[in-house]
Amino acid sequence: MRVQLNWVPEPEFGGIYQAKIDGSFEKNGLDVDITPGGAGAPTWQLVAGGKVDFAVASADEVIIARQQKADVVAIFATYQTCPQGIMVHASRGLKSLVDLFSAGGKLAVEPGLPYVNYLQQKYGAARIELVSYDGGIGNFLRDKNLAQQCFITSEPIAAKRAGSDPQVFLIADAGYNPYTAVIITRGKFAQDHAALVQCLVAALRAGWSAYLADPAKANDAMAKLNPDMDHDTFNAASAAQKPLIETDETKKNGLGWMSLERWTELGKQLVGLKVIDAAPDAKTCFIAPK
């Protein structure tokens, strides 16, 4: 079977590659192929359309998909804390997103992202000028007053290596915290193949547990598939993401854990942001890992 990623091989998928390398998939009776993705990879559409049985998406994508009547459910949430954030220059002396939106200036983001709408709604947009995010850090390095969107395992690390001193404010700290790097499948498939789904969850938990303890082997494997990212960046990203994946909740309930409360809150937020007209029943959006 195939697991379709929504981006190129990077540490956010480390546990998946670890499960392949150390035989966790095989030990659970699974023959898994991992397919890299890229910008705009339509992963939930591929799952809903039966093109693949498993893929990586985000929790807000799952809710949006279900609101559109797509039979997509989450079975494992890698990031308990969303790794998306806003990156600023430390030299500006900003202490929070409140400070950023009060200070004003330019903020480079992809327009229409739910969390961008959330920040504008929460903090106001009168003093902030939204500009297009070009996918890199060149403009950030050149302009000390520019803030930009980031993934905590990516742009801040690249900026530091380029000699900058970035400071990151996580979107989750502002109250918008969708599970991220979520493994999804079709609800009907999960119902018909419940044992297989549980085997996949067990293998993912084993893979992530091993990767969090020692990411070296999986990082080496991913670096060969993604030569644009060097080993130092792989190592730095692995360290940066660990507290977002392994939390007090996962120590109690297991890696990949998801709660009804979190899914319910996210649905309400997406309605409030006018991303969707009405939230689907949160119970239908996920199957809690056992």
Same domain, yes or no, for 188 and 277?
yes
Tens-digit pLDDT profile for residues 38-73: 888 999 999 999 999 999 999 999 999 999 999 999
With pLDDT > 70 as the criterion, what percentage of the chain qualifies?
100
Same domain, yes or no, for 59 and 197?
yes
Specify if 290 maps to a domain: no
Flag whether pLDDT at 111 surpasses 90.
no
Same domain, yes or no, for 222 and 160?
no
Same domain, yes or no, for 76 and 183?
yes
In terms of Cα–Cα distance, which of 256, 89, 100, 134 is closest to 183?
256
Domain boundary among 174, 194, 219: 174
Average pLDDT for 86-112 = 95
Total number of domains in the chain: 2
Same domain, yes or no, for 73 and 186?
yes
| Reported confidence tier of residue 17, pLDDT bands at 50, 70, 90 | very high
Average pLDDT for 32-37 = 98
CATH number at residue 266: 3.40.190.10
Contact 263, 112 (CB under 8 A): no
Same domain, yes or no, for 125 and 220?
no
Domain boundary among 174, 203, 227: 174
Specify if 289 maps to a domain: no
Specify if 260 maps to a domain: yes
Tens-digit pLDDT profile for residues 163-210: 999 999 999 999 999 999 999 999 999 999 999 999 999 999 999 999
Domain boundary among 116, 139, 174: 174
Burial label for 185, CB within 10 Å (0-12, 13-18, 19+), is buried
Question: At 154, which helix (H) or strand (E)?
Answer: none
Burial label for 246, CB within 10 Å (0-12, 13-18, 19+), is middle
Average pLDDT for 275-290 = 96
| Boundaries of domain holding 246 | 2-81+177-284
How far is Cα of residue 21 from the mean position of the Cα atoms in its chain? 22
Same domain, yes or no, for 184 and 280?
yes
Contact 203, 84 (CB under 8 A): no
Specify if 157 maps to a domain: yes
Specify if 278 maps to a domain: yes
Same domain, yes or no, for 27 and 144?
no
pLDDT for 290 equals 84
Same domain, yes or no, for 68 and 201?
yes
Same domain, yes or no, for 270 and 185?
yes
Same domain, yes or no, for 56 and 90?
no
Flag whether pLDDT at 257 surpasses 90.
yes
Q: How far apart are CA 26 and CA 33, in angstroms?
A: 11
| Reported confidence tier of residue 5, pLDDT bands at 50, 70, 90 | very high
Same domain, yes or no, for 74 and 183?
yes
pLDDT for 40 equals 84
Specify if 164 maps to a domain: yes
With pLDDT > 90 as the criterion, what percentage of the chain qualifies?
96
Specify if 71 maps to a domain: yes
Q: How far apart are CA 9 and CA 12, in angstroms?
A: 8
Tens-digit pLDDT profile for residues 124-151: 988 999 999 988 999 999 999 999 999 9
Specify if 109 maps to a domain: yes
